[in-house]
Every structure is written in structure tokens, then in C-alpha cells.
Structure 1
Amino acid sequence: MSLTSANNVGIMAETPLAFRFLARCDRFPDAVAFAVYPTGARVPSRMLTWGAWRDASLACAARLLDFGIEPGDRVAILAGNGLLWPVVDVALQLCRAVGVGLYPTSAPAQIVALLRDSGARLLFTDSEAHAADIRAASEPAVADIAIVVDGARGGEVTSFATWCDAGAHLLREGSASTLLEARIASIVPDDLAALIYTSGSTGEPKGACITHRYLAASAASIAEVLGIDGDDRSVSFLPYSHAAERIFGQSTRMLSGMSAALVEDPTDVFPVCAHFRATVFGGLPRLFERLYEATEIARANGTDPRDAIAARLGPDVRLATSGGAALPQRVAETLDALGLPILGAYGQTEHLCIAMNRVDAIRFDTVGTPMPGTTVRIADDGELLVRRSALTFSGYWNKPEDTTAAFTDDGLWLRTGDRAALEADGSLRITGRVKEIIALSTGRKIAPVPIEAALTDSPFIAHAVCHGEGRKFPVALLALRRDMVTAWATSAQLSLPWTELVQHAALRAMVQEQVDRVNATLARTDRIQSFTITDAEFSVAGGELTPTLKLVRRVIDARFAPAFDALYAAAARPTGHT
């Protein structure tokens, strides 16, 4: 069985997004495109209009041509959510170069590895420290790369302001304008526009090849479903180097005219969102869990939970979207009942938005129906397949074998690697990973993802990791939601250090109740036989989470191996597991 959502996305994809961007800037040059909020700021330090965005990107592009950037050359961007990203990204599209996004949180060795893999000729960054790390690299392929630094104060790098000023001067002279106009006019939909490296949650990062066609089709599909236009306001705080912000954010804004607040520090997202009065809010499950926690604390304190949402998102949010991982059903249902509809979505870098709930048909137990222009079907082994289309990537950079393996033998269907089921109403339910299976020593195979999602449908459990490869039965490692646990401790008049609090008998009993509830829905062989609670909080910096907050199992399995071993050792004792 296959299911498709038809529309005119294919037609929209024939016009490169860069052309639509320039047309919008010409029509609305004085409209605000970005408000910039530096770390800790509660008011913007700078506003950038659509006309100023266009002018800055054209100047940057002119200097890129003067530097010698040819169509297809790779140029890397290593920066947070400041103006550098949107200005350079558009400039690269205009001159047919390929933008390579790098995560600002990456270690120097990871940055060097991706620069080497992409073959980037030039790097734009907002950090002199990053520039110094690259200059110090012993890797010959990247040690001599040209570097442009936003805010640089001299030295061996070029400042971004100087770079753009030089480009503006070239345009005023006249000859550069002719060259740039010719380069822009030569853009075709199948040109490569970006390399977006996968997060590495299931292995080493791979550079997904993204065309101008993909950018335009994806933006059109998203804008159509969400009904976004130039009156909408959003908040940009997720890393631009990830597909969610690069496409769902940047490309959709370029098409629709939606303005955005650029949040330099993601921890400032809620106060900035409230001040900017966003109308559309896209985030990861953890952010909505924090909202949910705030509403629960408000209830416990006898205040209106709706006020807790308004204080964080502002009064104008009409809808929110969640992706990257499963949103706990309890969280979605609670926030929806309080007036915040959250459209759960599902996608991958290789095909950005495969399915999404709709405002008039929200289901909290599925990821919604296929997006416009997307066709899906379920393979005989349960894997979700997506029909190759304008919204699908072109392959992995310099990895022909991986590219071939990403599609079915006929090359027509993208293998998502996820198990799924189609509901009677056309909604898609993700049930686990095809390869993310725990094989017990008994021969029983267990899909951990649905079990972990069910465990986190608790006010207290932030992350759950099932474990059991080669063992007789599965166990779990649980990390708790600090705000909820702290609020519970306050109400219970407990004053203990965090390391002691997470092991408190009363708290463990409540966690055990959730484990029991989940176990009651599982086959006997699949039930969590024992669990341990860690006082650690999973983080990107700690390596347990990807930048989009997915679990990195290989890191967690290695780091917490002693804890898992202790669970099995306790179960082996005569007085232990029953």
C-alpha cells in the first residue's frame, strides 16, 4: 500500500529559491527579515530588512566571485544563529557555490574532518577560536584554507565586514554586477546548493547532497501545510547546520517572507520568543517538555498554566511544530488542551519533511499524513519507503556505495531505515528503527524506540535507554527531568543534593509505577526487568545527544556499561531479579 499527498510542489521546485528571494526583496525591501538577539539580550540589538539582506548577500557573492569561487565549489559556514549564516547562505546560492554547514558545538577534530571530506576552499565563521583551531590543525588539506571571521580584529584572517565592503565596492564599479547577474541567471534546479551532514546518531556523519530543487520544493511543501506568509514571525535558535533550521527555517522564510528572531544562545529562546511575539514556533520535543513542566508547576502552585505558556512563547503563537524525535503523548495532549496545538512532524535530512499533522486533524499518536509532493509505502519487512521526488536528496557526498544503499534496488524509493505503519485515516505511525533492534541471547528481537518513548511519557523521565544486546532480558537506564523532580522535592519538603534526590525511595517508587505501566503493554519477553536512575543529565556537550537531541547509543552504551553490568549482576544473584 502506498499513500501520496498531491499538489503543485513539483512546479514550484522548477524556480530556484534564490530567484523567489530576490523578487520578494524587491517587493518588500523595508519589511523586517531578522531581529538579532545577542546572548542574554531581551531586546534586539539590530534589525535587518529584506532589502538589506539582499544587498549584503549580493556584496558577499560579488566578493566570492572575485575570490575565484566557481559553480560547485564548496564553502563552509561554522557559526551560530547570527546574521552571518543567512547572508552567506544566500550569497552561496546566488553564485552557485555549495554551502557546507558545520555544527558550532563540534570538536576541532570533527570540524577538520568535515572540512577535509567536503573539500571546502573557504570558511566563514563567527569565532576566532574556531579559526585558531583550524590554523593549528596538522591536516594539510585544511591548514591553509582561507578563513573569514565575523568580528575579527586582524591577524591571519579576513573580517566579514571587510569582505562584504570589498564586495559592495566591486558592485559599485560595475563589472562585478554583470558577472554576478550572469552567474545568478545560470542557476538551474539540479545544481547542488548545500551539503548537510547527518547528525551521526547512527554512525559517522555523511554529507547529504541538497539541490536548489530540493530547497524550493521543501519550502513550498512546508509553507502550504502551515499556511505561512509574510505576516508570520518565527524564532531561529536551532543550528543552521542541521536540515531543520537550514530548510524548515531559512528556506521557508525565503519563500514565504516570514520574519525571524535570531537567538544567539538557545537558552534564551523563551524570553526572546515572548518579546518577539512569534506566531509560529518550531522546536524539538525537549522544549515542549519544558513548557509542559512549567504548566505542571503552575498547577501545583495554584496559578493558571496558560499564563506559564504565554510567559514563555508570548500571546500570538497560533501553532507549533515538533520534530527530531517522538514528542511524549502526555506533553502534546496537555499543551493542546491549554490552547497550544503542536503539529508532530517526521522527516530526515534525505527527505526533510515526510509527514506532519494538520491543524484540523491532529493525532498525538502519529506523525500525521504525508506532506504535499510526498508518496510513502511500507515495505514487506515493515520499513517506511519514500518515493524519490523533488523533495529528496541526490545522494551522499563522495559515498557512492552509501548512496546506492539509501535507495531500493530500482532507485525509486528512499529507504528511511524506520519501521512504520499506515493507519486507516492515512496517518503514519513510526514504530522503531529497522537496524535499531536489540537481539537478546534468547533469540528474541526487541525494538527499543517505542518502549523508550512510552517510558518518557512520564512527568519525571527525560530520557530512557533500553539495553540488552546479547543478554537474557532488557533493562533500562533512566535520566530524569530536573525541574519536575526539584518541584516534587519542594512539595515533599525534601532538601537533598541532586545525587541523593534521584535515588530517593519515594521518587524511585513513582518511576517504578511508570515502568510497570509500560511493561503492562508489552509481551513478557520484552518487559524491562530492571532499571537504574542516573544523576547525569544527557547533553550535546557530554556526547550523549546529537545537536538535535537524539540519543547517541554507542556513547551511552559505552559510558554507562558499568551501570548496565551491575543490573545484570544483581539479577544473577539468588536474592536478586525475579
Structure 2
Amino acid sequence: MDATNKLPLEMVYHWEKNKANALYMTQPIGDGNVVEYTWGRAVDEARRMAAYLKSLNLPEKSRIGLISKNCAQWIMTDWAIWMAGHISVPLYPTLNADTVNYILDHAGCEVLFVGKLDDWDMMKPGVPESVRCISYPLSPPNDFETWDDIVGKFPPLEGETRRDPDELATIVYTSGSTGRPKGVMLSFRNMAFAATGGMEVLGVGPSERMLSYLPLAHVFERTFVELGSLYAGFHLFFAESLDTFVQDLQRAQPTLFLSVPRLWVKFQHGVLQKMPKKKLDRLMKVPLLNKVIKKKILKGLGLDKVKLAGSGSAPLSSDVLDWYRNLGLELLEGYGMSENFAYSHMNKPGRSRTGYVGEAAPGVEVRISEQGEVLIKSPATMMGYYKDEEKTKEAFTEDGFLRTGDKGEIDEMGRLKLTGRLKEIFKTSKGKYIAPAPIENRLMSHDAIEMVCVSGANQTQPYALVMLGEEVQPKTADENFRKELEASFKNLIQEVNKTVDPHEQLAFITVVKDEWSIENSFLTPTLKLKRNVVEDAYQAKVDSWYAKRQPVIWQ
């Protein structure tokens, strides 16, 4: 079926008519049990919830909040909100009460769906008493009206709701590595264009299987998983928890698998803990063993059926990319932003280049400004920022190109390489500018390092803060292990310094004791480093580290 020019709700009604009895979503509910939703059941429950929302007599186009980890009800809620003529406002399931309160107030949400959450007690104080809450089957204990009661009571909303293509469909609040999150306004046309283009580039059809586990509040998962399943008609599985992730993967046997760099690195570290890299490399050179080992590793990760694997939201080091490609998994990087519904650039199978985020997707215009900034324009580009005309104006050039804030360059095949963030570039005391991202990518080639932050504004040379992998951290209590690790870090600095300009050479590496996490605000909900928070946390110690004149410093 040609999905071009069809809006999300039209696709919902299409599958309801044409595939009502086909399995659409598999939702784990604990103890190895699952609930299965056919297209017919999913649309019926969404229609019933839409009828309930209509009964509340909210003003037309009201904003309705949704805070939950990924589950079947998340997707049905999005549809129900649209069917009832309203606008969905997803919130990350890891936000603190202050940010929850800010978003609900800024968007003017009178209704909030409260779903599967690990720390509802932390968030609850941020929800005003005036907000009507509805809970999902997997919600933490509460006394709200429940999803099951509502769909049991209300008859399904009849007919097919028509929404205007240029009408506001959703407000996505950016995770914001600095300051308050901004509300990105996306229309039904923006969403439809990104989803149809994305499925076309990836060559995705109804026979695929995907595991949904990255936050649906983020555009990456929303475009390629929620909207992807809607436009291609494939089977969606949900993850139960981090502890059951391997079983969830084994159940789904995904044919498409998208992740973020931090998780790809964690998967790799998990394999290398069981079999050190040198031994693995040696065995992989044996022709008879090569295929057996590759298959065993991919099967162990639950990725042996994957035909297309993607990584997005931040750069992945070339060593990690090459490692997966050697296993026979062509890991393709892509690039997009909340402001263009994650639809911008993608590597294509057989045309990828390490270190590049791929070619412009169909319908995307791209150019590099005189300052080296990547500028992008397409029908997926946002309508603007909610209630913020000033920031909206700042986000666009006079001729309507989105200012990405990323620096980049384009090769002869039209593939884009990102060379750093304009705002992340800092100046040393010698007056030289440094882009931290390329140096960080080189450091990430070390298999003991999980995260890295290169800094050094107003210092003579840059330095690097590194966080060790969780399986490496406890071993540093062993003096011999620590000495070996320190020696390998000294080698790493020498290797990296050979590949960069003199003013970019690292003075030292500091190994931090702290864990950088979403909970302590060092990371955004999509696991990106909040550079300013990390730098501020160690600022008081930086001068004393330089004074030590040692290549490796242990915090």
C-alpha cells in the first residue's frame, strides 16, 4: 500500500480495516507473561479512550500529557488524543518533579496519562492537583481512573476523525542539555513526511519485528518505531525492564534494531568481559571458527536475526562501529533532531562511511554555512517552539533553513560528517579553538571507557574526564589491574595526540569516581552528556590537576 501523503490517523484506520486480526503489539506484563494486541483490539481501545476524552468537554485542541515508559497503552493513547481532536505532550519517564511541573504548566495540560514508571514518587509532587490523571495497567499504585475501567465503560468513538495536515499534532519537549526544555511543535504533515521517508530509505515492510525500549517521548523512537510501525504495519514488542532485556530481545527476535551509542558500547563491553578482545580477534582470524563465533555473539545479544541495525542521538566511535561490522552487523549511523522529527541524514547499506552520518534523506535540503554550521530544510521541519517566537526566529535562517547548531562537512558522495557543536567549541588560553567531539570519539576506542568529556577552556591544553564501564570500576581496587589500566591510558594519550593538531593534544586524563547518570542530571533522558553540568562538577579541581603534570590522574 502506498502510504505517501497519508496522515498518522489515516494509517490507523487503514490497518483497522485491512489487518484487524493481525498481531500488532506484544506487551510483557511480568513473570514471562505477555498481552497481545491485534490491530483491531488496539484501535478499538484507542477509540474507547477517545470517546472518554471527548466526554470531558475539554476546549478544542487541548494539550494532553503522557508520562510513561514504553508500552502498548502509550501508542494507543497517542492515537486516542488525536482521535478526540487534541494534541499529545509526551514527557520523559525519568524527569524530576520540577521539570514535570514546568512542562505541564507551560503546555497547559489539564489531563495526564500516568503509565509504567520506576520513580513516580519523585515525579508526583510536580503534578498540580487540578490535573486529571488516568493510569495504565502497569502504573505504580495510585487512586486514578484506570485505562481498563474506562475502555470497559465507554463505547468506541465512531467514524474516522480527520485532522488537518498542518495542524499541531504533538509538542515534544527537548531533553535540553542546558536550561529549560523547549516545546518543539510538530504537525501531522511533519510526522507523516518523516515516517514515510524513513521507511522508504530503510526499505522496511510489514514482516519486520522491532523491540521498543528507547523512550517514546524522544523523536528517534517515535519516528522509526511508533510511526514506523504505523506506516509499514510491522509487529512491535516492548521491553519489560533492564533486568529482562536479554529475554525481551530473545522474545522479539528483532529484524530491525535501533539503539544509542552508550548501549552499543555496553553490549560490546559485555561481550569483551566474557572474552578479551585480543583472544576474540585471534579466534576470528581462524576461518573455521570465524562464522561460528560471530553467530554465537550475535545470538547471545539477541541480534542474530537483525538485518538492519542503527545508531543515533550522538556519535559512535569508529572502533565500535568497526567491531560490530566485523561481526557481520552493519551498524548504520543516522542524524536528526527533535526539530526535524529525527528526519535528516541516514547511512545506507553498502554506502556507509565510518565517521559520517550518511546522506540527506529524500526531500531534505542541506547546506553548510560560512561558519561551518549544518543548515537543513524539509517538510519534516518543525512549526516552531511553543509559546516562544523569539527562539523560533533564532532557529531559522531568513530563507527558512533550520540552524542545527552542529558543525559539519560533506564528502563527494553527499555524506555528512559532524565535526562538533558550535556551542561546545571552546578556546584555550593560547586563543586556539577546540571541538571536543572528534577527540572524545578517539578516546572511546578504549574498551574500559564508557563515557568521556574533553574540556579545557582557558587552559593551555585540553584534558579529558573519563568514566569507566561499570564492570571495570570495581577491578580498580586491585593495584596490579590499576597499574595496567594506567599504562594503557598513557598509551592512549600518546596515540590520540599523534592524530590531532598540537593545540588539541591532551595534557592528561582524569578518571572519575562518580557515575554520570540521568538521576544526577549529568545525562539527558536520551543519555547525552550535559557538558556544562559535568564541567561544573569538577571545575574546582581542574587547576590542581594541571599542576600535577601527570598523564593519568585518579579522582
TM exceeds 0.5?
Answer: yes
Give 1:547's aligned residue. 525
Q: 2:375 aligns with which of 385, 400, 417?
A: 385
- After TM superposition, give the deviation of residue 101 of structure 1 in Å: 0.7
Give 2:80's aligned residue. 91
Q: CA separation of 1:241/1:267 partners in 2, compared to 1, >3 Å: closer, same or farther?
A: farther
* Structure 2 residue 159 is matched with structure 1 residue 188: no
Give 2:366's aligned residue. 376
* Structure 2 residue 140 is matched with structure 1 residue 163: no
Tell me, yes or no, if the aligned pair for 1:33 and 1:49 is still in contact at 8 Å. Answer: yes
Tell me, yes or no, if the aligned pair for 1:234 and 1:261 is still in contact at 8 Å. Answer: yes
Tell me, yes or no, if the aligned pair for 2:95 and 2:123 is still in contact at 8 Å. Answer: no
Give 1:559's aligned residue. 537
SS at match of 2:523: coil
- After TM superposition, give the deviation of residue 127 of structure 1 in Å: 5.8
Q: CA separation of 1:116/1:508 partners in 2, compared to 1, >3 Å: closer, same or farther?
A: same
Aligned partner of 1:363: which letter? Answer: R
- After TM superposition, give the deviation of residue 67 of structure 1 in Å: 1.0
Give 1:122's aligned residue. 111
Tell me, yes or no, if the aligned pair for 1:15 and 1:189 is still in contact at 8 Å. Answer: no
Which is bigger in relative contact order (C-alpha 8 A, separation at least 6)? 1
Give 2:235's aligned residue. 259
Tell me, yes or no, if the aligned pair for 2:68 and 2:117 is still in contact at 8 Å. Answer: no
* Structure 2 residue 219 is matched with structure 1 residue 232: no
* Structure 2 residue 11 is matched with structure 1 residue 20: yes
Q: 1:464 aligns with which of 452, 469, 484?
A: 452
Q: How does 1:373-522 map to 2 (within 5 A)?
A: 373-387=363-377, 389-410=378-399, 412-483=400-471, 485=472, 498=476, 504-522=482-500
Q: 1:213 aligns with which of 180, 189, 205?
A: 189
- After TM superposition, give the deviation of residue 38 of structure 1 in Å: 4.0
SS at match of 1:77: strand
**Distance in 1 (alpha carbons) for counterparts of 2:447 and 2:125:** 46
* Structure 2 residue 36 is matched with structure 1 residue 60: no
TM-score, scaled to structure 1 = 0.87
Aligned partner of 2:510: which letter? Answer: T
Gaps of 5+ in 2: 284-292
Which deviates further from its counterpart, 202-211 or 147-156?
147-156
SS at match of 2:367: strand
**Distance in 2 (alpha carbons) for counterparts of 1:37 and 1:550:** 28
* Structure 2 residue 67 is matched with structure 1 residue 73: no
**Distance in 2 (alpha carbons) for counterparts of 1:457 and 1:334:** 10
- After TM superposition, give the deviation of residue 479 of structure 1 in Å: 1.1
**Distance in 1 (alpha carbons) for counterparts of 2:116 and 2:255:** 31
* Structure 2 residue 357 is matched with structure 1 residue 367: yes
- After TM superposition, give the deviation of residue 154 of structure 1 in Å: 9.2
SS at match of 2:517: coil
Tell me, yes or no, if the aligned pair for 2:27 and 2:71 is still in contact at 8 Å. Answer: yes
**Distance in 2 (alpha carbons) for counterparts of 1:324 and 1:266:** 20
Give 1:5's aligned residue. none
- After TM superposition, give the deviation of residue 160 of structure 1 in Å: 1.7
Tell me, yes or no, if the aligned pair for 2:24 and 2:234 is still in contact at 8 Å. Answer: yes
- After TM superposition, give the deviation of residue 29 of structure 1 in Å: 1.1
CA deviations on 1:237-290 (whole Å, 9 max, x unpaired) are 011111112222101111111111111324533331122211100111122223
Tell me, yes or no, if the aligned pair for 1:74 and 1:118 is still in contact at 8 Å. Answer: yes
- After TM superposition, give the deviation of residue 441 of structure 1 in Å: 2.2
CA deviations on 1:31-87 (whole Å, 9 max, x unpaired) are 111111246x5x442111111111011111111111123442100001111222011
**Distance in 2 (alpha carbons) for counterparts of 1:88 and 1:231:** 24
- After TM superposition, give the deviation of residue 553 of structure 1 in Å: 1.1
Aligned partner of 1:553: which letter? Answer: R
**Distance in 2 (alpha carbons) for counterparts of 1:23 and 1:70:** 28
SS at match of 1:450: helix
CA deviations on 1:292-348 (whole Å, 9 max, x unpaired) are 234434543768243122122243111101001111111111211211111111110
Tell me, yes or no, if the aligned pair for 1:61 and 1:167 is still in contact at 8 Å. Answer: no
Give 2:98's aligned residue. 109
Give 1:145's aligned residue. 131
**Distance in 1 (alpha carbons) for counterparts of 2:35 and 2:480:** 43
Q: CA separation of 1:314/1:428 partners in 2, compared to 1, >3 Å: closer, same or farther?
A: closer
Tell me, yes or no, if the aligned pair for 2:240 and 2:248 is still in contact at 8 Å. Answer: no
Give 2:289's aligned residue. none
Aligned partner of 2:387: which letter? Answer: N
Which deviates further from its counterpart, 394-403 or 258-267?
258-267
Tell me, yes or no, if the aligned pair for 2:69 and 2:116 is still in contact at 8 Å. Answer: no
- After TM superposition, give the deviation of residue 502 of structure 1 in Å: 10
**Distance in 2 (alpha carbons) for counterparts of 1:433 and 1:502:** 39
Tell me the percent identity. 27
Tell me, yes or no, if the aligned pair for 2:110 and 2:130 is still in contact at 8 Å. Answer: no
- After TM superposition, give the deviation of residue 225 of structure 1 in Å: 1.1
Q: CA separation of 1:397/1:229 partners in 2, compared to 1, >3 Å: closer, same or farther?
A: same
* Structure 2 residue 27 is matched with structure 1 residue 51: no
CA deviations on 1:455-494 (whole Å, 9 max, x unpaired) are 11222221111121222221111112234x37xxxxxxxx
Gaps of 5+ in 1: 1-8, 487-495
Tell me, yes or no, if the aligned pair for 2:65 and 2:104 is still in contact at 8 Å. Answer: yes
Give the paired residue count: 535
TM-score, scaled to structure 2 = 0.91
Q: CA separation of 1:556/1:136 partners in 2, compared to 1, >3 Å: closer, same or farther?
A: closer
**Distance in 2 (alpha carbons) for counterparts of 1:473 and 1:353:** 37
**Distance in 2 (alpha carbons) for counterparts of 1:95 and 1:21:** 14
Aligned partner of 1:160: which letter? Answer: W
Q: CA separation of 1:358/1:134 partners in 2, compared to 1, >3 Å: closer, same or farther?
A: closer
**Distance in 2 (alpha carbons) for counterparts of 1:438 and 1:458:** 24
- After TM superposition, give the deviation of residue 221 of structure 1 in Å: 1.0
Q: 1:347 aligns with which of 314, 336, 343?
A: 336
Q: CA separation of 1:153/1:498 partners in 2, compared to 1, >3 Å: closer, same or farther?
A: closer
Aligned partner of 2:268: which letter? Answer: Y
Aligned partner of 1:256: which letter? Answer: A
Tell me, yes or no, if the aligned pair for 1:295 and 1:305 is still in contact at 8 Å. Answer: no
**Distance in 2 (alpha carbons) for counterparts of 1:368 and 1:99:** 31
Give 2:286's aligned residue. none
Give 1:492's aligned residue. none
SS at match of 2:397: coil
Q: CA separation of 1:419/1:426 partners in 2, compared to 1, >3 Å: closer, same or farther?
A: same
**Distance in 2 (alpha carbons) for counterparts of 1:461 and 1:161:** 45
Aligned partner of 1:479: which letter? Answer: M
> What is the RMSD of the two structures over their aligned residues, measured on CA atoms?
2.5
Q: 1:356 aligns with which of 342, 346, 349?
A: 346
**Distance in 2 (alpha carbons) for counterparts of 1:127 and 1:286:** 23
Tell me, yes or no, if the aligned pair for 2:209 and 2:234 is still in contact at 8 Å. Answer: yes
- After TM superposition, give the deviation of residue 503 of structure 1 in Å: 8.1
- After TM superposition, give the deviation of residue 136 of structure 1 in Å: 4.5
Q: How does 1:168-179 map to 2 (within 5 A)?
A: 168=155, 171=156, 177=158
Q: CA separation of 1:44/1:366 partners in 2, compared to 1, >3 Å: closer, same or farther?
A: farther
**Distance in 2 (alpha carbons) for counterparts of 1:498 and 1:80:** 34
SS at match of 1:24: helix
Q: CA separation of 1:553/1:249 partners in 2, compared to 1, >3 Å: closer, same or farther?
A: same
CA deviations on 1:514-557 (whole Å, 9 max, x unpaired) are 22211111111111111211133322223211111110112111
SS at match of 1:353: coil
- After TM superposition, give the deviation of residue 390 of structure 1 in Å: 1.5
* Structure 2 residue 245 is matched with structure 1 residue 269: yes
SS at match of 1:92: helix
Tell me, yes or no, if the aligned pair for 2:66 and 2:114 is still in contact at 8 Å. Answer: yes
- After TM superposition, give the deviation of residue 128 of structure 1 in Å: 8.8
**Distance in 2 (alpha carbons) for counterparts of 1:195 and 1:501:** 52
